[in-house]
Amino acid sequence: MFSLNRRTLTGSSLLLLGVLLVAVLVIGNVVLRGARIDLTGNHQYTLAQGTKNILSGIDEPINLYFYYSDRATQDIPLLRNYSVRVRELLDEMAAKSGGKLHLNVIDPLPFSEDEDRASGFGLQALPVGASGESVFFGLAGTNSTDGQSVIPFFQPDKEVFLEYDIAKLVHSLVVGKKPVVGVLAGLNVASGFDPATRQMRDGWAFYQELGDLFDLRQLNPAATTTIDAEIGTLLLIHPKGYNDDLSYAIDQFVMRGGRLVVFVDPYAERDDSGNDPENPQAAMFAKRDSDLPALFKAWGIDYDPTMVVLDSANALPVQTQPNAPPTRHLAILGLGKNSLSQDEISTAQLESINFSTAGQFKLADGSALKLVPFVQSSGDAMLYEAEQLKFMPDPEQLYERFVATKEHYVIAGRLEGKLKAAFPTRSDEGHLSESNGAANIVLVADTDVLSDRLWVQVQNFFGQKLMNSFANNGDLIINIVDNLAGSADLIGIRGRAASARPFTTVEAIKRQADQRFRQKEQELQKQLADTEQKLNDLQQGKSAENATILTPEQQAELTRFRDDKVRIRKDLRQVRRQLDADIESLGSKLKLVNIGLMPVLLTIGALALLWWRRRERVKA
């Protein structure tokens, strides 16, 4: 009887616990509906404030079409895992948009209308598998005025900029027109008539690509005294001899919140202002440097237009003579990922950028601003007089005077902070003595980085210009202007860390074990070398006829070595077993916390919140 009552009590307890668990889940679902806590280490599910501002500024509904080939990616875990991250971010943005973002998730099956529409949007289909089935993994957006913007394919290696890319797509649909970019150029970067050849010249490749993305407005440096209000971003290329009126107009443009990109150069190789057909030597002695002395001084920028950066670690090989081997030129640099900031949107995804006779920036003493570098030289670099390069046909001569300073020179960077006006005594209408908020200025100490020869080959194919890039110079320029031409909210969105986080504790355990393995291996190798040396010593004392016969001493030495070898191998196996045991122990602890402790804590939290709300109702 007692046994029966005990079994009945046990069954009743289990039933009661089951009912209680269901009740807690139902109560938690009601009480905590809509509540979210981002406990991820990198706050992957917390939108940046800039993204929230963009979403809150949506006036009319925007439709997002997330095309993801779910069935075709069954055997592609990389894309399947990343698709979850993309979908969760899209859901979060839709939830924070106040109903203005309408998200449609579509699995475009082969030969379906959905597949045709995805292709019509311009999404890229990636062929996978032996059958050549195509995978769509992109986003298309439309607004109420037939505006359209797409992300052709979500690349997992660009996850750090996932939020920025989607926010940029939404912002482009909110704005609905190309951003206006003003251009003040001291070089012939645009297409036009060339009086020297009496023919039309093609524009530089970067300028043509910018024209496809932005509304470019050419400004005349000799006649410009004000910057039109429609211009949100101003591009200065090789500024030379700007008068006070033009410098004042640029200064006030920045004070009003305008975005500025400045390309100066201590030695601009494409500067043909000194060319004189009647005097061929005039070009050699002409000044080819550019500067903004009044503005740089007021903004706390230290830039020397007479010095170029030499960098032996990043020097590119050049062909100086037809039959001679290439020689590395210390002033012509190919900067790779080690020199490009991975935290800056403009450079994080770039592989290499080529510069030639570039200068460098640094903050002046006492400057209250911040210079954030995103292109730097290596530490194996120095500064060199630009004038000396004009009369040095052999680049090997630079090595004779090269002495590395161990300093990383900033070739390009972002200037941040509030600015003071460069012309405080002027009182023109609307004059501002300081900037409205933080300034948005990008500085690049080279203009040759824009020239075609350093990054692209342009070919004429049946009347069409085909561009084959071998460096990321063009991407750098487009990224800089694209980032600045967007809203201030877009500029504030920086790249995030990837959602895939390494098991740092496990990696540390493995590193410690590997170190122990290496020590044991070195010990074994040392003992082996010592034994062989002793055997050789013993062998040297024997005659030729009994050289192959082991003496008792040699036999004892071999036996001892074999015993030591067995012992050390046993120790190695023990280290490996200990490594596995440590990892398994860590895994068991994590399972206990995730499976056992966390649900209990969440249940207690839900009950406590329910109790608190009921208490507040009673008080009311």
Report the CATH number at residue 342: 3.40.50
What was the pLDDT predicted at 411? 97
What was the pLDDT predicted at 2? 47
Judge if 343 and 467 occupy the same domain. Answer: yes
Residue 106 lies in a domain: yes
Judge if 243 and 260 occupy the same domain. Answer: yes
Give the torsion through C-alpha atoms of 531, 537, 541, 547, to 10 deg: 50
Residue 356 lies in a domain: yes
- pTM score, two decimals? 0.61
Q: How far is CA 435 from the centre of its chain?
A: 29
Which of 143, 173, 203 delimits the end of a domain?
173
What was the pLDDT predicted at 614? 80
Judge if 343 and 479 occupy the same domain. Answer: yes
Judge if 165 and 222 occupy the same domain. Answer: no
Pairing of strands 327-335, 315-318: antiparallel
Residue ranges, the chain, pLDDT below 70: 1-14, 28-45, 129-132, 194-198, 274-285, 324, 393, 460-466, 487-551, 554, 558, 561-584, 586-587, 590-591, 593-594, 596, 620
Q: How far is CA 114 from CA 121, 314, 379, 443, 459, in A?
A: 11, 49, 53, 45, 37
CATH number at residue 114: 3.40.30.10
Which of 485, 505, 529 delimits the end of a domain?
485
Do residues 219 and 190 make contact, with C-beta atoms less than 8 angstroms apart?
Answer: no
Which of 431, 451, 485 delimits the end of a domain?
485
Judge if 469 and 322 occupy the same domain. Answer: yes
Give the torsion through C-alpha atoms of 577, 578, 584, 585, to 10 deg: 150
Judge if 274 and 225 occupy the same domain. Answer: yes
Smallest Cα–Cα separation from 338: which of 322, 324, 350, 325? 350
Rounded to whole angstroms, how far apart are CA atoms 229 and 180? 10
Residue 240 lies in a domain: yes
Number of domains forming the structure of the chain: 2
Judge if 225 and 374 occupy the same domain. Answer: yes
Judge if 278 and 132 occupy the same domain. Answer: no
Residue 152 lies in a domain: yes
Residue at token pair 């979403």: 55
| Domain assignment of residue 277, given as a range | 180-485
Rounded to whole angstroms, how far apart are CA atoms 620 and 615? 9
Task: Render pLDDT for 346-389 as a digit per residue (tens, 0 to 9).
Answer: 898 788 999 999 999 999 988 889 999 999 999 999 999 998 88
Q: Which DSSP string do the residues of 303-320 spell out, in sequence order? A: E-TTEEEEESSSEEEE--
What was the pLDDT predicted at 497? 46
Judge if 349 and 313 occupy the same domain. Answer: yes
Q: What angle do CA 12, 16, 20 make, to 5 degrees?
A: 175
Judge if 264 and 385 occupy the same domain. Answer: yes
What was the pLDDT predicted at 283? 62
Judge if 106 and 163 occupy the same domain. Answer: yes
Judge if 284 and 160 occupy the same domain. Answer: no
What was the pLDDT predicted at 354? 96
Residue 490 lies in a domain: no
